[in-house]
Structure 1
Amino acid sequence: MHQANDHGGDAVHFEPFTPPSTEELDALIPGYKFLQFIERGGMGAVYKAVQKSLNRTVAVKLLPQVHRNKESFAERFKREAHALAQLNHPHIIAVHDFGETPDGQMYYAMEFVSGMDLQHLLKRAPPEPRQILTIITQVCEALQFAHEHGIVHRDIKPANILVDERGNVKVADFGLAKVMGQQAVDYTATGMTIGTPDYIAPEALDQSKSIDHRADIYSLGVMIYELFTGHVPKGVWEPPSIRSGADKGIDAVVSKAMQNNPEKRYQHVRDMTQVLEKLFKNSDNWKNFRRPPKSEILSTAGEPVRIPTNADTIRMEAATRPKLTPLLLEG
């Protein structure tokens, strides 16, 4: 049995806003034809649109005016766009444009993914071991690339992994990304989010400690456990080999990735990838694997949390993400 961090708490709500209609946005951002409102999150709204100059279908994320005057929200929005713009990789959402409307609403246009996020895919059709390896390998490739370019994601979870209709994976939502070597935004003062409770690395909760790429490795360990068992590891958790008949090597991978001390984890994502690939070479290792029934898969992803200022609890944002296809970014 293993012990995992257990984060919970009360809800905290963003100031409500009404997303503009597609007709309003057609007038505000004339370079795009807005087709459909997709979703609204605490940080903004996402639309399906066509970039007229290239006749390209895109997703446009909009930071509403109600948040524009809050420096922390604007900084996070810019951070996400700039981080994505630096990362030209087949498994990372691409950013095509960034701008501001005449009335002060910031927006950026990004790659449109026709599919769904991994959180909803797990509920609909729990994957087989080979599918899990394919998904995790693509996520690892994306994160290794980001880390090599000095960027830590800091919010890896199934809801931020998009899977298109052909099974290609895209890592999304770099709103909490940190550029290694640069001072991070002071989220304590702003009340901004730092990660999602079930997936957050222990050091991210300690304001005295710096966060590096190994925080993403911890989150990957949690996600791998969830892919094999249908649950996130909370409190004292059973190894995947006991819970789902997974190869015992997966127990070791998850345990090492989720070490509280970053020095005891895999030091690079590629190290984890190499171990996983070896485990999947022998099909006999997986003959006892049992996919978790869909009814057992819990909706535990939650929303990002903020650093507590004078309380011991981690406050969770209200989860309002609808089930949509395609399901894109939620801020």
Structure 2
Amino acid sequence: MSYLNSQGLLQMYQAGQSEAATAIFDRYVARLIALARSRIGSKLGRRVDAEDIVQSAYRSFFVHASGDEYELNKAGDLWRLLASITLHKLYGQIKKHTAAKRSIHHEAPTDLATAAAKTPEPSAEEVVAIIEELHTVIRELPPEERMVLTASLQGQENPEISKSINRSERTVRRLLANARRKIEQRLLPGDTTNDRSPTAVVEYEAPLLYADYVLEQLLGSGGMGKVFRARVKGTTQKVAIKSLHKARQSDPRAVAQFVKEAQLLTGLHHVNIVRVEGLGRFPGGGYFMVMDYVEGIDLQSQLDVQPFSIKAALGILKNVTDAISYAHDKGVIHCDLKPGNILQDKNGNVLVTDFGFAFLIADGTTVENSIGGTAGFIAPEILSRQSLPTPATDIYSLGVLLWTLITGRLPERPFTRCNREKEPKAVARIVNRCLFDDPRERYQTISELQQELMAIL
């Protein structure tokens, strides 16, 4: 969504597309934090928290925006609006802390929007660095903390969040506090209290040479890294090159996870899995992986336009289950199956990608790695950390995926079938079994699920 202007993003959010909220947050959060900090001053720095102010401003913005209370007329209006809300929140806090000492009018400008517009903006490099660091810490949050933080930033109040995740309000407050603390530890200047202690540098085998490729176009950017379209030098062959964000290249855990994904995918050869050729290193030392270039689009981008027909969704799921069945046979649990991680090329072929959270099972034991996923698609036993991933973990996500492809929305919990023709009982029955809280009540193998799918097809 980086190509959309602020008016387009606001319209998408008001139309109910939650992804626009994330895009709005990512686009302006660094500048808003910098703005708030520039107005706090050293004396109030320990009592007034810039990140708290910005989070409160976003909550207010999303609540009012969802009610169609805002309309943008020209470029820059969204920044001025968010800056005005942030400064309003900020001066309210300053007033509380300084009421007994001096008038708030001594510090507050009379035109908050104009003052915000005139505030010096951080450099592009500073903005990129802060946003990448923010992506990093949010991606590393435990699933529940990440879920409540996202919901809070989208304007949901604690009671609403508590109901949606079936946890007490006290737990929601604790999760939000934990998330804020971790973000502060990573973003506040001069903080040396976090756990990023010096770690021995691990060198991984990376035989591919950067000099053999020519980067041509940035295809996308996520929480972990970026993907570029590239060309093999001296040929017309196109490949995709995936790399970690610069801010993550010095994080041993992120590098180990990235290398693990490359090594894992290099060993997987299936028609419905994006092939990885291998691992290489940039001249500056960071790692990259070279993958097949897929001329197509991810399923989430198609869902943003309209849901799939039942026949199309079942056909897609058949291909996805073929890939996941193969991965399970190789001892690999994907752990992050969602529309954004499934590609469809220009010929209609379906390919599963992004094994960044994959879990490995070897000889009945688990290999230590990062457990994660995406809110709404994560199996409850993983979300509550009651067990390690199993094939039933992916089967849960496949049920969510099928329902989402057909209806354009996540299934409600507890799952109930809406009374619509396009949601037949046969599909609802399959989804219902995939979504049982108890993994033992779900389909136990992908083959068992495929038999039900084939009966409908």
Bin the TM-score by the shorter chain. 0.7 to 0.9
Alignment of 1:231-246 (within 5 A): 231-239=409-417, 242-246=419-423
Counterpart Cα distance in 1 of 2:270 and 2:294: 15
8 A contact 2:415–2:432 mirrored in 1 = no
Counterpart Cα distance in 2 of 1:279 and 1:41: 36
2:399 to 194, 211, 221: 221
Deviation at 1:99, TM superposition (A): 1.1
Q: Tell me the secondary structure at the aligned position of residue 10 of structure 1.
A: helix
Question: Is residue 264 of structure 1 aligned with residue 403 of structure 2?
Answer: no
Counterpart residue type for residue 90 of structure 1: V
Partner of 1:297: none
Counterpart residue type for residue 149 of structure 2: D
Partner of 2:305: 124
8 A contact 1:65–1:104 mirrored in 2 = no
Counterpart Cα distance in 1 of 2:246 and 2:312: 42
Counterpart residue type for residue 260 of structure 1: D
Deviation at 1:165, TM superposition (A): 1.2
Partner of 2:387: 209
Counterpart residue type for residue 407 of structure 2: T
Deviation at 1:252, TM superposition (A): 1.2
Alignment of 1:61-80 (within 5 A): 61-80=242-261
Deviation at 1:244, TM superposition (A): 4.5
Deviation at 1:279, TM superposition (A): 1.6
Counterpart residue type for residue 312 of structure 2: Q
Structure 1 residues 104 and 134: alpha-carbon distance in aligned structure 2, compared to 1, 3 A threshold: same
Unmatched 5+ stretches in structure 2: 1-143, 151-178, 188-208
Alignment of 1:1-331 (within 5 A): 8-11=147-150, 29-52=210-233, 55-181=236-362, 182-185=365-368, 187=370, 194-239=372-417, 242-280=419-457
Unmatched 5+ stretches in structure 1: 1-5, 17-27, 188-192, 281-331
8 A contact 2:321–2:446 mirrored in 1 = yes
What is the CA deviation profile of residues 205-230 of structure 1, one whole-angstrom value per residue up to 9, with x for unaligned ones? 23342211110000000111112222
8 A contact 1:217–1:269 mirrored in 2 = yes
Which one has a bigger Cα radius of gyration? 2
Counterpart Cα distance in 1 of 2:333 and 2:234: 33
Q: Tell me the secondary structure at the aligned position of residue 256 of structure 1.
A: helix
Counterpart Cα distance in 1 of 2:449 and 2:369: 31
Counterpart residue type for residue 366 of structure 2: Q
Query: Considering only aligned residues, what root-mean-square deviation do their CA atoms show, in Å?
Result: 2.4
- Choose between structure 1 and 2 for higher RCO, CA contacts under 8 A separated by at least 6 residues: 1
Counterpart residue type for residue 252 of structure 2: E
Counterpart Cα distance in 2 of 1:169 and 1:246: 23
Query: Normalising by the residue count of structure 2, what TM-score does the alignment of the two structures yield?
Result: 0.53
8 A contact 1:156–1:220 mirrored in 2 = yes
Counterpart Cα distance in 2 of 1:142 and 1:87: 10
Structure 1 residues 50 and 148: alpha-carbon distance in aligned structure 2, compared to 1, 3 A threshold: same
Task: Select between 77-86 and 178-187 the one with higher mean Cα deviation.
Answer: 178-187
Query: Normalising by the residue count of structure 1, what TM-score does the alignment of the two structures yield?
Result: 0.72
8 A contact 1:229–1:244 mirrored in 2 = no
Counterpart Cα distance in 1 of 2:389 and 2:267: 20
Could you say which structure has the higher helix fraction? 2
Could you say which structure has the higher strand fraction? 1
Counterpart Cα distance in 2 of 1:198 and 1:116: 22
Counterpart residue type for residue 220 of structure 2: E
Counterpart Cα distance in 1 of 2:304 and 2:317: 17
Counterpart residue type for residue 388 of structure 2: S
Q: Percent identity?
A: 32
